[in-house]
C-alpha cells in the first residue's frame, strides 16, 4: 500500500480509501466484514462512510454495520482512520439535516453511538449549506474537536469558492479548518480540474476522489453488458450514462485491449496520478475488486497513454485550471 499525508496535516492515509456505500446493501453482512478485514490486510487504513448511508434500510445502518465490525476488536479501530459525514436528512424533522450547529453536534454524537467509538478521525460536511454561516459551522466543529470527539474536519461536493470561503473563515478563528475535500473526479467528469483541485492545493486541502470509475462506466462496462455481468452499469442510471457515452467508452475499452490494460485499473491509476489527489475512494463488492484497485496504484499512465486518454476524454474547455480553461 502507498500512503500520503492528508492535505497539510501530519496524518498518513492510504492512497486507496474503502468506500462503504455498498456494504450491507449490495453485500451481505458477512461479505462486508470480510471486505473490511481484507482491506486492512492490504494496508488500507482510510474508511469512508456517512451518517445516512444505508438509507435503503434506514439512515445510519451502514455506520451500525461498521460499528459491529469494529467491536470485534483485534486492533480494528486503531488500524482505521475513520471518516464519516454530516448534512443529509436523518429524519423528516426540520432540524435533523443541514449544517446548523445543533445538527452538526447532534449528528456527530449519533455517529459515535452507531460506530461504537469515542472519536471520528475525519468529520466531513457532505454538501455546502447555503443557510449556515461559517461562523456557526466552525463554532460547532471547534466544540467537537475540543471535546475530543473529532480529530479533523473535511468537506465534500464543495465548489472552489466554497473551499476558499470556509478556509478563510476558519483562519480568522485561528482554527485548522478544512483538511480534505471529497469530490467526484474521473476521466468522464473532469470539472474538478478547473477550480476545486486548484483551490484545494492552494489551501493545503487533500483531495479524496469519489466515483473514480464513474459508477462502473469505466470498469469495462461495455464488455460486461455484452456478457451479462454488469451490476452498477446495468442499472437504470448506469444505462443512461452508457447511452450518453457508449461510443467513447467503447473506444476506451478497445484502446485498453490494444495496450493490454484493464479498463478499471487504468482509469483508477489515472485518477491517482493526477496532481493534488491524495486518495481514491473505491467501493468494492468482492475481494477481487479490491485487489484490482491495489494494482492500480502502480498503473500511472505513461505520457503517450495519458495523451490518448485526453483525446478520448477531453478536459473541460481548453483544459487546466480556471480562468485559462475558458480565457486566454
Q: Grid coordinates standing for 249?
A: 467508452
pLDDT band at 241 (very low <50, low <70, confident <90, very high): confident
Is the predicted pLDDT of residue 56 greater than 70, yes or no?
A: yes
Q: How far apart are CA 296 and CA 319, in angstroms?
A: 24
| Cα separations in angstroms, 123 against 48, 72, 157, 261 | 10, 23, 14, 36
Is the predicted pLDDT of residue 191 greater than 70, yes or no?
A: yes
Residue 282's domain is classified under what CATH number? Answer: 3.20.20.100
Q: How far apart are CA 16 and CA 207, in angstroms?
A: 12
Asked if the structure places residue 178 within a domain, the reply is yes
Which residue in the block uniquely carries the three cell numbers 461510443?
Answer: 247
| Cα separations in angstroms, 281 against 5, 89, 210 | 16, 23, 5
CA dihedral angle for residue 21, residue 24, residue 26, residue 28, rounded to 10 degrees: 150
pLDDT at site 242:
81
Asked if the structure places residue 265 within a domain, the reply is no
pLDDT band at 232 (very low <50, low <70, confident <90, very high): low
Task: Please give the average per-residue pLDDT across 131-153, as a whole number.
Answer: 98
Asked if the structure places residue 53 within a domain, the reply is yes
Domain count, the chain: 1
- Name the residue range of residue 277's domain: 3-214+271-299
Asked if the structure places residue 15 within a domain, the reply is yes
Asked if the structure places residue 242 within a domain, the reply is no
Annotated active-site residue in 3, 53, 58, 255:
53
Q: Grid coordinates standing for 189?
A: 467528469
pLDDT at site 231:
62
pLDDT at site 135:
97
Asked if the structure places residue 306 within a domain, the reply is no
Asked if the structure places residue 323 within a domain, the reply is no
Which residue in the block uniquely carries the three cell numbers 497539510?
Answer: 8
Asked if the structure places residue 325 within a domain, the reply is no
- Catalytic site residue 3? no
pLDDT in tens, 85-128: 999 999 999 999 999 999 999 999 999 999 999 999 999 999 99
Task: Please give the average per-residue pLDDT across 161-180, as a whole number.
Answer: 98
Is the predicted pLDDT of residue 227 greater than 80, yes or no?
A: no
Amino acid at each position: 500500500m502507498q500512503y500520503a499525508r492528508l492535505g497539510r496535516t501530519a496524518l498518513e492515509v492510504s492512497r486507496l480509501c474503502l468506500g462503504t456505500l455498498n456494504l450491507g446493501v449490495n453485500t451481505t453482512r458477512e461479505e462486508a466484514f470480510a471486505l473490511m478485514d481484507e482491506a486492512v490486510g492490504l494496508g488500507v487504513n482510510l474508511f469512508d462512510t456517512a451518517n445516512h448511508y444505508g438509507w435503503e434500510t434506514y439512515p445510519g445502518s451502514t455506520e451500525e454495520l461498521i460499528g459491529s465490525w469494529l467491536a470485534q476488536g483485534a486492533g480494528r479501530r486503531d488500524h482505521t482512520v475513520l471518516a464519516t459525514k454530516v448534512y443529509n436528512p436523518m429524519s423528516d424533522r426540520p432540524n435533523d439535516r443541514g449544517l446548523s450547529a445543533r445538527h452538526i453536534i447532534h449528528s456527530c454524537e449519533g455517529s459515535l453511538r452507531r460506530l461504537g467509538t469515542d472519536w471520528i478521525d475525519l468529520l466531513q460536511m457532505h454538501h455546502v449549506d447555503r443557510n449556515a454561516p461559517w461562523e456557526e459551522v466552525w463554532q460547532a466543529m471547534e466544540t467537537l474537536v475540543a471535546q475530543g470527539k473529532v480529530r479533523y474536519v473535511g468537506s465534500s461536493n464543495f465548489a472552489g469558492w466554497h473551499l476558499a470561503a470556509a478556509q478563510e473563515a476558519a483562519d480568522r478563528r485561528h482554527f485548522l479548518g478544512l483538511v480534505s475535500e471529497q469530490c467526484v473526479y474521473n476521466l468522464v467528469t473532469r470539472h474538478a480540474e478547473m477550480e476545486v483541485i486548484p483551490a484545494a492545493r492552494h489551501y493545503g486541502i487533500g483531495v479524496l476522489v469519489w466515483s473514480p470509475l464513474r459508477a462502473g462506466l469505466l470498469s469495462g462496462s461495455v464488455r460486461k453488458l455484452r456478457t451479462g455481468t454488469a451490476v452498477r452499469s446495468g442499472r437504470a442510471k448506469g444505462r443512461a450514462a452508457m447511452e450518453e457515452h457508449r461510443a467513447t467508452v467503447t473506444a476506451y475499452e478497445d484502446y485498453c485491449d490494444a495496450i493490454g490494460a484493464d479498463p478499471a485499473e487504468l482509469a483508477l491509476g489515472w485518477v491517482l496520478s493526477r496532481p493534488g489527489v491524495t486518495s481514491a475512494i473505491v467501493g468494492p463488492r468482492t475481494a477481487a475488486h479490491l485487489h484490482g484497485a491495489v494494482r492500480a496504484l502502480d498503473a500511472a499512465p505513461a505520457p503517450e497513454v495519458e495523451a490518448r486518454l485526453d483525446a478520448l476524454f477531453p478536459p473541460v474547455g481548453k483544459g487546466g485550471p480556471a480562468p485559462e480553461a475558458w480565457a486566454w
